Structure 1
Amino acid sequence: MTKLTKRLVEKPWGKDTLPAPFTAPAGSRIGEVWFEPPAELPSVLVKYIFTSDKLSVQVHPSDAEARQLGEHDRGKEECWLVIDAEPRAALGVGFHKPVGIDEMRQAALDGSIEDLLVWHPVVAGDFFYIPAGTVHAIGAGVSLIEIQQNSDITYRLYDYGRPRELHLDRGSAVAKGEPYDPALRFHLPASGTVELARGPYFLAHRVDGVPDDALLSKYSAPCLVIPRAGTVTIGADTVEVGECAVAGAVTDVHFDPQGACILVRAA
Structure 2
Amino acid sequence: MTLLTKRMVEKPWGKDTLPMPFVAPLGQRIGEVWFESPPELSSILVKYIFTSEKLSVQVHPSDAQAAALGEKDRGKEECWLVIAAEPGATLGIGFKQPVDAEAMRRAALDGTIEDLMVWHPVAPGDFFYIPAGTVHAIGAGVSLIEIQQNSDITYRLYDYGRPRELHLDKGIAVARGEAYANGLHNPVHDDGTATLADGPFFAVARIIGLPEWDSLTYPGGNLLVIPLRGTINQADTALEPGDCYALSDIHALEFGADSASLLVWQA
Q: TM-score, normalised by structure 2?
A: 0.97
Larger displacement relative to structure 2 (112-121 or 226-235): 226-235
Paired residue secondary structure (2:41):
coil
2:247 corresponds to 1:264? no
Report 1:184-263 matches (<5 A): 184-215=184-215, 218-234=218-234, 237-263=237-263
Letter in 2 for 1:160: Y
Q: Given the superposition, is the C-alpha separation of residues 117 and 213 from structure 1 closer, same or farther in structure 2, using an over 3 Å criterion?
A: closer
Deviations 1:42-77 (A, max 9, x none): 111111100000000000000010111111111000
Q: Given the superposition, is the C-alpha separation of residues 236 and 74 from structure 1 closer, same or farther in structure 2, using an over 3 Å criterion?
A: farther
Instruction: Say whether the 8 Å CA contact 2:207–2:262 is kept in structure 1.
Output: yes
For residue 6 of structure 2, what is the aligned residue in structure 1?
6
Distance 1:231 1:224 in 2: 17
Instruction: Say whether the 8 Å CA contact 2:193–2:212 is kept in structure 1.
Output: no
Shift of 1:195: 1.4
Distance 2:234 2:201 in 1: 24
Q: Given the superposition, is the C-alpha separation of residues 158 and 142 from structure 1 closer, same or farther in structure 2, using an over 3 Å criterion?
A: same
For residue 47 of structure 2, what is the aligned residue in structure 1?
47
Report 1:102-181 matches (<5 A): 102-181=102-181
For residue 16 of structure 1, what is the aligned residue in structure 2?
16
Distance 1:25 1:103 in 2: 43
For residue 96 of structure 1, what is the aligned residue in structure 2?
96
Q: Given the superposition, is the C-alpha separation of residues 219 and 23 from structure 1 closer, same or farther in structure 2, using an over 3 Å criterion?
A: farther
Instruction: Say whether the 8 Å CA contact 2:224–2:265 is kept in structure 1.
Output: yes
Letter in 2 for 1:62: S
Instruction: Say whether the 8 Å CA contact 1:56–1:160 is kept in structure 2.
Output: yes
Distance 1:149 1:215 in 2: 24
Paired residue secondary structure (1:206):
strand
Shift of 1:219: 4.3
Q: Given the superposition, is the C-alpha separation of residues 116 and 163 from structure 1 closer, same or farther in structure 2, using an over 3 Å criterion?
A: same
Residue ranges of structure 1 left out of the alignment (5+ in a row): none
Shift of 1:2: 0.9
Instruction: Say whether the 8 Å CA contact 1:9–1:32 is kept in structure 2.
Output: yes
Distance 2:256 2:221 in 1: 21
Deviations 1:116-154 (A, max 9, x none): 111111111111100000000000000001011111000
Q: Given the superposition, is the C-alpha separation of residues 137 and 28 from structure 1 closer, same or farther in structure 2, using an over 3 Å criterion?
A: same
Instruction: Say whether the 8 Å CA contact 1:2–1:234 is kept in structure 2.
Output: no
Q: TM-score, normalised by structure 1?
A: 0.97
Letter in 1 for 2:157: L
Deviations 1:240-259 (A, max 9, x none): 11111001121232222321
Distance 1:25 1:229 in 2: 22
Distance 2:219 2:228 in 1: 18
Instruction: Say whether the 8 Å CA contact 1:19–1:84 is kept in structure 2.
Output: yes
Instruction: Say whether the 8 Å CA contact 1:195–1:205 is kept in structure 2.
Output: yes
Distance 1:36 1:112 in 2: 37
Q: Alpha carbon RMSD of aligned pairs, Å?
A: 1.3
The percent identity for this pair of structures is: 64
Larger displacement relative to structure 2 (95-104 or 236-245): 236-245
